[in-house]
């Protein structure tokens, strides 16, 4: 197969490779390069070394704010989404009737796109705040907690499904053995069930982490108009597209430098995840 | 209906860094059932895959029916192959699996149907034509794989360890079925296995390979009675031949082999070949079947009786395998069950000198062949 | 014991039903407002569409006509279908080649595809937009081409994993039966890949149908705009009084296809989305 297939590179690989080059390989390389330049458009770039990176931490006031907001948002999301999703999974694996219906309902929000989702919640949150005569832009913490609620609504069902799969993988005998040993339900939960679903916990933690960290559409739709509630992805977007005028070239370079830092942060997370899941897999 | 010729064929991988077959020449006759046998990694599967065209030939020439096929694509070689794990197409039912190759060749539907039904009836898989492979047992899948090769009516039938995934009972059954199939189809069969019993029972001729080299290519009978070297002698037979270091000496009129304080007179037929080795060490080979329990009967000139201490006595049904040490050699005798033997017993054994083999200690080749 | 169990079950069902209400409420509120008059949507968003507040399907009619909703819907549908088909067919072909032809190039390609999965979109946002305009890819077909590129990382990764588990002997049997590589792939390998192909198709369909930023940057808010772009434009763009009723109707219409799709292929979607997540 090897030999005869080898000649078919143009048919089998080239189409994807061309698309991949245009949408990833070239833009990625160009993106790294441009982060060290000032540019109005890609073909008018001038090398400025680390100026863009320095500007992020000196002149630009939004990046560190966005980073801190993203970290807080990610942290709160991981905790709330996983605790609620895991509790739901526990309730839905007790052999009750109609669990299929509940699963269907809880999972559904996950499929609705971020933009639509953001606007639905924008309407609801502004509707509630309307009773007090304010809206979501009134206080940054409204925007923050609005995002947390939205994230929970979207991600809980998803994580619940993964936890259910993990819980169903635990052999029944283990629970039976624990109850024969006289373990209380709480004891069983903490010393048997949770340790046994640690692989699912790891997966869900990193999924929530990645999804929260990279959140964009929901953020744009819900908090697009309010200042001080931009997460990293939205902050980068605004750095590129909200600046106009004379210093556009500088801000383009800065935006690209932010994107590189953003990429490095995500890469570190992915690397830690790889190590974490890799180790877990050998343990089990 | 084809003869297969290998002429100095070389096979190497990784741009010549690893050579698995250094120089292979082989003549497989038309309609012959040839089995390639040897330990894993000996190059037998690679050899088969070169005939199929699945492996490129790095050097030398390969002929099928006097046509050089080095650069001929597998589909143009008119061969069919049965794989170890059956390699059935999982998404097609049995009928479509059998018909696939014929449909690719644009054979008329009616003709395809006839061929498929013919193969299915020969192999007794007619009731399963509508089933997918995963709904079949191992033996049924194996027969579908054979059927897929049969319908093609190929010049050469290649089989790569086709029975190794079956249980022992089924294996014996399929063995005779494949032999019958060969008789019926009248085509060249090349069959790869690591199981010497399969080789001995099915083959017209057997190729014994080791480390990419053909050690012997002969009929099963010849391999048993006249092994070309110690590797072949040890590989054929179960348990394998015993090897005992011995010294060739002349005692009076006759030439003898001395080992561990015992003496065996060289049979007259072998005296001439062993004379040059007088005073030298050679390896005496004797099959477990040629060592019997000594019951005090007549001892011929070319036998000797040695009393050994049995370490283990293994009951195998009709026989007992007795393990013992002779000098530095670990030996096995296969003897009848008339006398009960337990571990630790002293057992007098009769070594049949007429069935003994002698090998050169340096080259490990059989002396006199 | 029995009675205690019963009380417990009732408690569990109560909690679950309350949560169901919470989960469904947002959708219900949108649905409710989509049949209310403009004034009542912004003033009384949580009141039921009764009496004078009820305007029947006027909002939907307006939603359809005013914002060229149908055009955006069709654009999204065409882009999603073509892109998903392109991704599934082309990346499975590439993955097969990469797994079966082992050399330095295919190894590097595999690493490049895998690597692309962890790179956030913002990293290439500006440069890919620039390149797309340079290459005149700012069209429906160009969008499909870009989606094949963006989708290739995850799907090459998923297909490769599955192809490695297919015994090469099946493909060799096909070669001996008379297949060239193209037939081997389409007659034998691709049908075997079906479960993974379904997973990839679902994950990518959801992503592309809902994707906002890439089509916004490439296709803009003009004639070629997709549904999420149309929704975003309608709800944030422009000044002055917005027709809230029409906007509610749009949100409903944007959700309905997904929910219908979900209810019909729920089993595949849940399995697909989870498999995609766990592997990615």
Instruction: Tell me the torsion sign for CA atoms A188, A192, A195, A196.
Output: negative
Answer for the pair B282, B257: CB distance below 8 angstroms, yes or no. yes
Considering only the beta carbons, identify the residue of C167, C178, C192 that sits closest to B101: C178
Using the beta-carbon criterion (under 8 Å), do C178 and B91 form an inter-chain contact? Answer: no
In this structure, are residues A204 and A84 in contact, taking their beta carbons and an 8 Å threshold?
Answer: no
Q: Do B88 and C170 touch (CB under 8 A)?
A: yes
Please say whether the dihedral angle defined by the alpha carbons of residues A112, A115, A120 and A124, taken in this order, is positive or negative: positive
What does pLDDT average to over chain A?
87
- CA-nearest residue to B77 within chain C is C176
Quote the pLDDT of residue B83.
Answer: 93
User: Which tens digit of pLDDT belongs to each residue from A190-230?
Assistant: 888 888 888 889 889 988 998 999 999 999 998 887 778 89
**Distance (Å, rounded) from C-alpha B286 to C-alpha B354?**
10
> Are B345 and B307 a contacting pair, CB within 8 Å?
no
pLDDT value at residue A279: 53
Interface of B with C in 96-155 (CB under 8 A): 100-101, 104-105, 148, 152
- Any chain A CB within 8 A of the CB of B362? no
B161 min Cα distance to partner chain C (Å): 13
Query: Closest Cα partner for A19 from C118, C97, C83?
Result: C83
DSSP assignment string, chain C: -HHHHHHHHHHHHHHHHHHHHHHHHHHHHHHHHTTB-HHHHHH-TTS---GGGB-TTHHHHHHHHHTTHHHHHHHHHHHHHHHHHHHHHHHHHHHHHHHHS-SHHHHHHHHHHHHHTTS-THHHHHHHHHHHHHTT--SHHHHHHHHHHHHHHHHHHHHHHHHHTS-HHHHHHHHHHT--HHHIIIIIIHHHTHHHHHHHHHHHHHHHHH--HHHHHHHTTSTT--HHHHHHHHHHSSSS---HHHHHHHHHHHHHHHHHHHHHSHHHHHHHHHHHHHH-
| Whether B56 contacts chain A with CB within 8 A | yes
- Which sign, positive or negative, has the C-alpha torsion C235, C238, C239, C240? negative
Which residues of chain A neighbour B56 with C-beta distances below 8 Å? Answer: 3
Structure tokens at A78: 């991981």
Closest A-chain CA to C115: A267
* Residue C3 forms contact with B (CB below 8 Å): no
Contact A22 C131 (CB under 8 A): yes
Q: How far is C200 from chain B (nearest CA, A)?
A: 19
Does A104 contact chain C (CB < 8 Å)? yes
Buried b (16+ CB within 10 A) or exposed e, B268-285: eebeeebeebeeeebbbb
Residue numbers in C near A153 (CB within 8 A): 23, 26
> Which residue from B minimizes the CA distance to C188?
B89
Minimal C-alpha gap between A277 and chain C (Å): 10
B49: CB partners within 8 A, 6+ apart? B55, B160
Domain interval for residue A135: 52-283
**What residue spans in chain B does CATH classification 3.40.50.300 cover?**
4-235
Convert the pLDDT of each residue in A15-55 to its tens digit: 999 999 999 999 999 999 999 998 887 777 888 888 889 98
pLDDT for residue A283: 38
Residue A23, chain C, CB below 8 Å: the answer is yes
Q: Which two tokens stand for residue B256?
A: 């003898």
Say yes or no for a CB contact (<8 Å) between A1 and B56: no
pLDDT, residue C238, reads 56
Nearest residue of A to residue C10, measured between CA atoms: A96
Structure tokens at C79: 């882009």
Of C176, C179, C192, the CB nearest to B81: C176
To the nearest 10°, report the CA torsion of A29, A31, A37, A39.
120
Number of structural domains, chain A? 1
Question: Is A6 domain-assigned?
Answer: no
Report angle CA B249, B254, B259 to the nearest 5 degrees.
40
Contacts of A116 in chain C (CB under 8 A): 210, 228, 231, 251, 254-255
N-to-C CA span, chain A: 36
Q: ∠ at Cα C232 (C227, C236), nearest 5°?
A: 155
CATH code: domain B4-235 is 3.40.50.300
- Indicate which CATH number applies to the domain containing A80: 1.10.3720.10
Q: Given this model, what pLDDT does residue A46 score?
A: 84
Sheet holding B59-64, edge to edge: B18-28, B4-13, B59-64, B67-68
Q: What is the pLDDT of residue C276?
A: 64
Any chain C CB within 8 A of the CB of A102? yes
Task: Find the closest chain A residue to B49 by CA distance.
Answer: A1
Please name the helix (run of DSSP H) or strand (run of DSSP E) that holds residue B169, with its range, or none: helix B168-185
Give residues with Cβ within 8 angstroms of A98, minimum separation 6: none
SS3 category, A264: helix
Q: Which of the residues B14, B81, B105, B146 would you substitute to probe the C interface, choosing the one with the greatest number of C C-beta atoms within 10 Å? A: B81
**Among candidates B87, B100, B105 on the partner chain, residue whose Cβ is nearest the Cβ of C169:** B87
| CA closest to A89 among chain C residues | C16
Closest C-alpha among C88, C103, C215 to residue A9: C103
Chain B contact for A7 (CB, 8 A cutoff): no
Give me the pLDDT at residue B51, please. Answer: 94
Residues within 8 A of A (CB atoms), B 59-118 only: 73
CATH 2.40.50.140 domain range(s) in chain B: 242-360
In the prediction, which pLDDT does A282 show? Answer: 38
Structure tokens at B44: 């037998």
Partners of residue A1 in chain B, C-beta under 8 Å = 54
Q: Whole-angstrom Cα distance, residue B73 to residue C175? A: 9
Please judge whether A94 and C12 are an interchain contact, meaning their C-beta atoms are less than 8 angstroms apart.
yes
pTM: 0.88
Contact of B64 with chain C, judged by CB distance below 8 Å, is answered with: no
Question: Does residue B303 sit in helix, strand or coil?
Answer: strand
Nearest to B157 by CA among B141, B146, B172: B146
Residue with tokens 């190794």: B164
Closest residue in A to B72 (Cα) is: A4
pLDDT in tens, C62-103: 777 766 788 899 999 999 999 999 999 999 999 999 999 989
SS3 content of chain B, % helix, strand, coil (to 5): 30, 35, 35
* Alpha-carbon torsion angle C255, C260, C262, C265, nearest 10: -160
Looking only at Cα atoms, what is the longest distance across chain B?
A: 81
Give the tens place of pLDDT for each residue, A229-275: 899 999 999 988 887 776 777 888 899 999 999 999 999 988 888 88
For residue A255, give the nearest of A229, A233, A275, A227 by alpha carbon. Answer: A233
Closest Cα to residue B205, out of B186, B224, B230?
B224
Is the CB of A3 inside 8 Å of chain B's CB atoms? yes
| Chain A with chain B: Cβ pairs closer than 8 A | 3
Nearest CA in chain A to B57: A3
Contacts of A3 in chain B (CB under 8 A): 56
Smallest CA–CA distance, residue C109 to chain A, in Å, is 9
| Best mutation target, C103, C163, C177, C189, to test chain B (most B CBs within 10 A) | C177
Residues in chain B, pLDDT under 70: 1, 298-301, 369
Kindly list the residues from chain A whose CB atom is less than 8 angstroms away from the CB atom of residue B73: 4
CB contacts < 8 A, B to C, total: 55
Residue among C128, C69, C74, C85 nearest C252 (CA): C69
**pLDDT score, position A212:** 93
Parallel, antiparallel, or unpaired for β B33-37 and B79-82? unpaired
Min Cα–Cα distance to chain C from A116, Å: 6
Q: Is residue A15 part of a domain?
A: no
Mutate to test the interface with A, among C7, C80, C127 (most CBs of A within 10 A): C127
* Ranges of chain C whose pLDDT falls below 50: 279-280
3-state secondary structure at position A23: helix
Kindly list the partner chains of chain C, i.e. chains with 3 or more CB atom pairs below 8 Å.
Answer: A, B
Q: Which CATH superfamily is domain B242-360 in?
A: Nucleic acid-binding proteins (2.40.50.140)
DSSP letter at A21 equals I
Q: What per-residue confidence (pLDDT) applies to B31? A: 93
Residues of B in contact with C178 (CB under 8 A): 75, 101, 104-105
Q: Does the CB of B164 have a partner CB in chain C at under 8 Å? A: no
Based on the number of CB atoms within 10 Å of its own CB, is A51 exposed (0-12), middle (13-18) or buried (19 or more)? middle
* CA distance to partner chain C, nearest, from residue B83 (Å): 7
Q: Is residue A237 within 8 angstroms of chain C, CB to CB? A: yes
- Cα separation, C110 vs C143, in Å, equals 24
* Residue B74 forms contact with C (CB below 8 Å): yes
Q: Identify all chain B residues contacting C176, using CB atoms and an 8 Å cutoff.
A: 52-54, 74-75, 79-81, 101
- Which pLDDT score is estimated for B299? 65
């Amino acid at each position: 197969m090897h030999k005869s297939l080898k000649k078919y590179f143009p048919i089998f690989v080239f189409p994807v490779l061309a698309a991949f080059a245009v949408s990833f390989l070239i833009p990625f390389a160009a993106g790294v390069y441009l982060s060290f330049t000032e540019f109005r458009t890609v073909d008018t770039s001038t090398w400025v070394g680390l100026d863009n990176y320095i500007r992020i931490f000196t002149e630009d006031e939004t990046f560190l704010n966005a980073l801190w907001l993203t970290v807080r948002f990610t942290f709160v999301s991981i905790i709330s989404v996983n605790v609620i999703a895991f509790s739901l999974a526990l309730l839905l694996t007790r052999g009750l009737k109609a669990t299929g219906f509940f699963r269907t309902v809880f999972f559904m929000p996950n499929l609705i796109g971020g933009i639509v989702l953001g606007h639905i919640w924008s309407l609801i949150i502004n509707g509630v705040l309307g009773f007090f005569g304010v809206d979501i832009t009134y206080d940054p913490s409204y925007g923050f907690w609005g995002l947390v609620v939205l994230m929970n609504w979207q991600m809980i069902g998803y994580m619940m499904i993964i936890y259910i799969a993990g819980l169903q993988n635990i052999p029944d005998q283990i629970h039976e053995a624990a109850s024969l040993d006289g373990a209380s339900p709480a004891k069983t939960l903490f010393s048997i069930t949770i340790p046994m679903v640690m692989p699912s916990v790891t997966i869900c933690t990193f999924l929530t982490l990645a999804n929260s960290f990279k959140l964009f559409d929901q953020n744009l739709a819900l908090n697009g108009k309010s200042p001080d509630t931009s997460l990293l992805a939205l902050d980068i977007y605004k750095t590129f597209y909200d600046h106009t005028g004379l210093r556009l070239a500088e801000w383009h370079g800065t935006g690209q430098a932010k994107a590189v830092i953003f990429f490095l942060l995500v890469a570190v997370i992915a690397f830690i995840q790889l190590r974490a899941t890799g180790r877990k897999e050998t343990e089990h | 209906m084809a003869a297969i010729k290998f002429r100095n064929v070389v096979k190497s991988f990784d741009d010549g860094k690893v050579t698995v077959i250094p120089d292979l020449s082989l003549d497989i006759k038309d309609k012959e059932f040839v089995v390639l046998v040897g330990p894993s990694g000996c190059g037998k599967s690679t050899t088969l895959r070169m005939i199929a065209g699945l492996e490129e030939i790095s050097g030398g020439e390969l002929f099928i029916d006097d046509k050089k096929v080095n650069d001929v694509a597998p589909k143009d070689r008119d061969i069919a192959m049965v794989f170890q794990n059956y390699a059935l197409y999982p998404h097609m039912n049995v009928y479509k699996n059998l018909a696939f190759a014929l449909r690719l060749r644009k054979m008329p539907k009616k003709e395809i149907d006839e061929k498929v039904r013919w193969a299915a009836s020969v192999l007794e898989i007619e009731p399963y034509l509508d089933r997918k492979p995963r709904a079949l047992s191992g033996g049924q899948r194996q027969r579908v794989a054979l059927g897929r090769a049969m319908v093609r009516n190929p010049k050469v039938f290649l089989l790569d360890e086709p029975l190794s995934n079956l249980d022992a009972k089924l294996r014996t059954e399929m063995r005779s079925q494949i032999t019958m199939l060969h008789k019926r189809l009248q085509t060249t069969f090349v069959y790869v296995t690591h199981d010497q019993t399969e080789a001995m029972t099915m083959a017209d001729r057997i190729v014994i390979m080791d480390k990419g080299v053909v050690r012997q290519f002969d009929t099963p009978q010849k391999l048993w009675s006249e092994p070309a070297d110690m590797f072949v002698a040890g590989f054929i037979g179960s348990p394998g031949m015993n090897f005992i270091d011995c010294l060739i000496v002349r005692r009076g009129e006759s030439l003898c082999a001395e080992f561990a304080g015992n003496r065996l007179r060289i049979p007259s037929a072998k005296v001439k070949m062993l004379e040059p080795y007088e005073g030298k060490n050679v390896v005496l080979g004797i099959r477990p079947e040629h060592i019997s329990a000594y019951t005090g009967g007549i001892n011929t000139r070319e036998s000797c009786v040695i009393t050994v201490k049995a370490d283990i006595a293994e009951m195998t049904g009709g026989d007992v395998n007795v393990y013992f040490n002779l000098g530095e050699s670990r030996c096995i005798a296969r003897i009848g069950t008339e006398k009960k033997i337990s571990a630790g017993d002293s057992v007098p054994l009769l070594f049949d000198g007429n069935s003994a083999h002698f090998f050169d200690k340096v080259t490990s080749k059989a002396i006199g062949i | 014991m029995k009675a205690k169990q019963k009380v417990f079950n009732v408690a569990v069902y109560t909690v679950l039903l309350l949560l169901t209400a919470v989960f469904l409420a947002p959708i219900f509120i949108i649905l409710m407002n989509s049949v209310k008059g403009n004034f009542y949507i912004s003033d009384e968003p949580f009141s039921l569409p009764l009496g004078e507040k009820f305007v029947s399907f006027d909002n939907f009619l307006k939603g359809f006509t005013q914002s060229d909703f149908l055009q955006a819907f069709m654009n999204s549908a065409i882009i999603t279908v073509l892109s998903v088909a392109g991704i599934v067919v082309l990346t499975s072909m590439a993955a097969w080649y990469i797994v079966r032809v082992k050399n330095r190039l295919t190894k590097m390609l595999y690493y490049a595809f895998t690597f692309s999965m962890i790179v956030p979109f913002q990293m290439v946002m500006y440069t890919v937009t620039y390149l797309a305009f340079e290459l005149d890819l700012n069209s429906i077909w160009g969008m499909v081409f870009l989606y094949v590129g963006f989708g290739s990382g995850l799907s090459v990764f998923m297909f490769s994993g599955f192809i490695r588990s297919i015994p090469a002997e099946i493909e060799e049997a096909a070669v001996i039966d008379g297949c060239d590589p193209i037939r081997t792939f389409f007659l034998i390998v691709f049908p075997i890949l079906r479960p993974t192909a379904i997973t990839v198709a679902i994950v990518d369909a959801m992503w592309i149908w809902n994707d906002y930023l890439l089509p916004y940057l490439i296709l803009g808010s003009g004639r070629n705009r997709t549904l999420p772009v149309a929704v975003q434009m309608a709800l944030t763009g422009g000044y002055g009084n917005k027709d809230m009723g029409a906007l509610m109707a749009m949100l409903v219409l944007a959700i309905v296809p997904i929910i219908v799709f979900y209810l019909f292929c729920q089993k595949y979607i849940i399995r697909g989305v989870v498999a995609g997540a766990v592997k990615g």
